[in-house]
Amino acid sequence: MRATLIYGRGDVRVEEVPDPVLAAPTDAIVRVTRACVCGSDLHRYRGMEPVAEGLRIGHEFMGVVEDTGADVRSVKRGDVVLVPFLWTDNSCDFCRDGLHGSCRNGGRWAMNGLDGGQGEAARVPQADGTLIKLPVGADDPVIPSVMALSDVLPTGHHAAVTAAVGKGSTVAVIGDGAVGLSAVLSAARLGAERIVLLGRHRARTDLGRRFGATDVVPERGEEAVAAVRALTGGDGTPHVLECVGNTAAFETALGVVRDGGTISRVGVPQYAEARLDFDVFMRNITITGGVAPARRYIPELLAEVLDGTIAPGEMFDLSVGLDDVPAGFRAMNDREALKVLVRP
Amino acid sequence: MRATLIYGRGDVRVEEVPDPVLAAPTDAIVRVTRACVCGSDLHRYRGMEPVAEGLRIGHEFMGVVEDTGADVRSVKRGDVVLVPFLWTDNSCDFCRDGLHGSCRNGGRWAMNGLDGGQGEAARVPQADGTLIKLPVGADDPVIPSVMALSDVLPTGHHAAVTAAVGKGSTVAVIGDGAVGLSAVLSAARLGAERIVLLGRHRARTDLGRRFGATDVVPERGEEAVAAVRALTGGDGTPHVLECVGNTAAFETALGVVRDGGTISRVGVPQYAEARLDFDVFMRNITITGGVAPARRYIPELLAEVLDGTIAPGEMFDLSVGLDDVPAGFRAMNDREALKVLVRP
């Protein structure tokens, strides 16, 4: 089959790779009908040292079940399934605690010999715990919104949940990428009254307003902090959803958070250390968040996608075939596209 | 009057300073009957560059009201009062939220011309919001336990509260100083079932056991992490109370915390940055805590001190007069004393 490989900074190729085969009785083989390019894929696209053998890539996908191992009970050949960005048994103590990122029998796509999502097919370990059977066809018009449930919407939702956003909350969302916009949508869905979106790309912040942002702050750095504080009586917001993952975004988060408030980080950190100094201590700032347990949130969010309450699929503004995945990376990297849908 | 000044590393002196006088109608003058040396005083004792004019020091004290400004309503001359380690109006929106460290009209002792606690008397701003009138005499046998309420017990309690310790919790407490032992006592009081105390000073960890520690881990660094994990089925503890404030303690906290768990920092951080990397992100670790709102917790804790439910005063193992405060610093710095009570 054909699949996407990354060879280094700016070097993504679609090449022939071995077809997936069942390796354990809990596996399923899924023919991929849609995949996405994720903002976190761009971290490697921007910074990875060259490698001689390309690495598989992609962790957001859906498809049709082609085969199942002997122990798989919840899906069968022909089922249309959504695949979360982590595979999990959905039954260990960590999963039962809603912490699927720490699943005792789970892991990440495109690692340790596993397929990535940006290819024609994938072997799915722990199929019963991982796959969500969809009640719609693989080409249903709602599919782009369903695809947002593989990663970005649950990730934005995780930011809002872990930052304890609720009815009447005042929230700052840092970043107008797909995760930031998902965080806006999630905060609005949870009842936030005021949602300040920090972003400077007009098309994105306009979509952010449609998703529920009440204010947009296009400034950066200290000017952004001053603007958010000006909007909030000088004190900042009790809830900050940090959806970028670099040091500048973390500093902005510390600048806009109200004393006693919470910063939830859902942008994969591109730093090893961050400021947790006397000032952060005296202000009683809480840092929370982390990798989202998408599998836990999908049933609840899927119901609202299917009944039309939310339409996160509006984020996809470019659709490419498998051979054009490299062009999709380029478009996202150059900020010409917000979120790329792949149709293998 | 006489008061304690610090001139640099290892250089604490008791000298003549101006008598305090009422400066605002909300002030009170308190004659100090007891003070303490705090572990955080030792940070300067260990690292402060020499200064030509000594700096006032001390933030844990109690005493007898000598005079009050025209607007003071809650205390009067002759009242025996406990003084929290921050002064606050106890009425602004931050204080009403229980975040006294961010009081809009509060601050720290021994700063900006204010007296420190280690002296014969002090001017107390915002007397109505700061002082707690005590129903016992200044020399009552319960006074050492009352003095623990000025800072260390509320600080340990803040660690337990912000880390969401409750009935049946499994908790690790890092540090066997007065704050660490206070955190043990607080966790036990809140219903923790298992309390692992990380400390290597036998007299202190023995007191920790009396305060409720179920296990003591004397190892340090990676060995301590391995020991705590061995005690907890390999996974670590969901609640970690970091009561030291240096990078090694923070790293130990990251090592012993269970995935999805919370580290509450109440040791004043002696670092500017700390590890918040991909590993911390993937494990969904929450970092919380900060300076404790002692004024908020004191009424609840004082009631239990007065009825004998808790006896945090057991931590005081050295008592000195004002002239011997320098010897008290030395004893605490050399770990000969756990906690020093000063009787001016």
pLDDT in tens, B31-42: 999 999 999 999
Report how far residue B102's alpha carbon sits from residue A314's, in angstroms, rounded to the nearest whole number: 41
Contact A284 B284 (CB under 8 A): no
Strand pairing of B318-321 and B340-343?
A: parallel
Residue A281 and residue B273: Cβ atoms within 8 Å?
A: no
Q: Which residue has the tokens 């899906």?
A: A75
What pLDDT score was predicted for residue A69?
98
Give Cα A82 distance to the centre of its chain.
14
C-alpha angle A80-A81-A84 in degrees, rounded to nearest 5: 160
Looking at residue B61, what is its pLDDT?
98
Domains of chain A, CATH where assigned:
2-151+293-343 (3.90.180.10), 153-289 (3.40.50.720)
Give the pLDDT confidence of A272-309 residue by residue, as tens digits.
Answer: 999 999 999 999 999 999 999 999 999 999 999 999 99
The whole-angstrom separation of Cα A182 and Cα A200 is 16
Residues of B in contact with A274 (CB under 8 A): 273-274, 276
Question: Environment class of residue A334 by beta-carbon count within 10 Å: exposed (0-12), middle (13-18) or buried (19+)?
Answer: exposed
Nearest Cα residue to B263 out of B338, B145, B140, B175: B175
H/E element holding B14? strand B11-16
Q: What pLDDT sits at residue A195?
A: 98
Give the model's pLDDT for residue B99.
Answer: 98
Q: Which residues of chain A have pLDDT under 50?
A: none
Looking at the complex, report in whole angstroms how far the Cα of residue A96 sits from the nearest Cα belonging to chain B.
12
A 10 A CB-CB count for B249 gives 25
Question: For residue B43, which residues of chain A lie inside 8 Å, CB to CB?
Answer: none
- Pick from B277, B280, B291: which is nearest to A282 by CB? B291
A–B CB contacts, 8 A cutoff, strictly below: 112
Which stretches of chain B score pLDDT less than 70? none
How high is the pLDDT of residue B154?
Answer: 98
ipTM for the assembly:
0.97
* Cβ contact, residue pair B102, A275, below 8 Å: no
The neighbouring-strand residues paired with B150 are none
Closest CA to B177 of B79, B77, B249: B249
